[in-house]
Amino acid sequence: MPTLRTRWTLDIADVIPGAPPDTVAAIGSDLLRRLAEPHRAYHTARHLEELLRALEDIEHSREITARQATLARVAGWFHDAVYDTTAAGGTNEADSAALAVRDLSALGLARRDVEAVRDIVLGSELHELPSDPLSAAFHDADLWILSAPAQRYAEYTAQVRREYAAVPTDAFRTGRAAILRPLLARESIFATGVARSRWEDRARHNLTRELDELTAR
């Protein structure tokens, strides 16, 4: 996979051929700076890289078009651009969506595409199963980490705990369990056929094991 900076430049050139190169570079640098903020442990450039790789798998399965995959990648850059673990629910997503609208509009992205990216970013708050292919592909790529190999999954859960280090242990366990239970309770964690066939079983195994650990006394 190309470097993140190269990937950003190529994707923007694809959907906004006339975008000013200096502005494209400046926005990309700002997004990378945000992902490197010291309070982040999981929501970093590595998460973005994993999301982009997962999107490649979904694109290769032909569940989305090449252009939809590009828009999903662009949304990936913005979906965690604003990340504050102390913010009220939905605030990070709303602020990240507003940033996407501002920056992508400034670059000249078509309004319908700006709105598609905005809606994807806003939808990343609750991780509800979407019905349209573009949102479904993004949803599944964002949640790929749930199906990661055991060592990476353990690293991921430790990273999330570090991001919420200020939260007392009991409160964190309760809150985290409240996030995992609805995912396990629904018929499918993932929305696309390729994700359900390749990632569903491993994700359920990981989530079940983590939930058991969180609720053990």
pLDDT at 142 over 60: yes
In the chain, helix, strand, coil percent, each to 5? 70, 0, 30
pLDDT at 200 over 70: yes
Average pLDDT score over residue span 169-177: 96
Total number of domains constituting the chain? 1
Query: At what angle are helices 66-78 and 91-107 packed, to 10 degrees?
Result: 120
> What is this structure's pTM?
0.96
> Cα separation of 109 and 105, whole Å?
6
Average pLDDT score over residue span 21-44: 98
Q: Which of 212, 17, 216, 209 is nearest to 108 (CA)?
A: 17
pLDDT of residue 131: 87
pLDDT of residue 109: 97
pLDDT at 56 over 80: yes
pLDDT of residue 95: 98
99 with 78: CB under 8 angstroms? yes
Determine what percent of the chain is predicted with pLDDT higher than 70: 99
Q: What is the CATH number of the domain that holds 149?
A: 1.10.1300.10
Structural domain containing residue 95: 4-215
Average pLDDT score over residue span 82-90: 95
Per this entry, what is the length of the chain? 217
Predicted confidence band at 1 (pLDDT cuts at 50, 70, 90)?
low
Predicted confidence band at 15 (pLDDT cuts at 50, 70, 90)?
very high
pLDDT of residue 217: 65
pLDDT at 174 over 80: yes
pLDDT at 91 over 70: yes
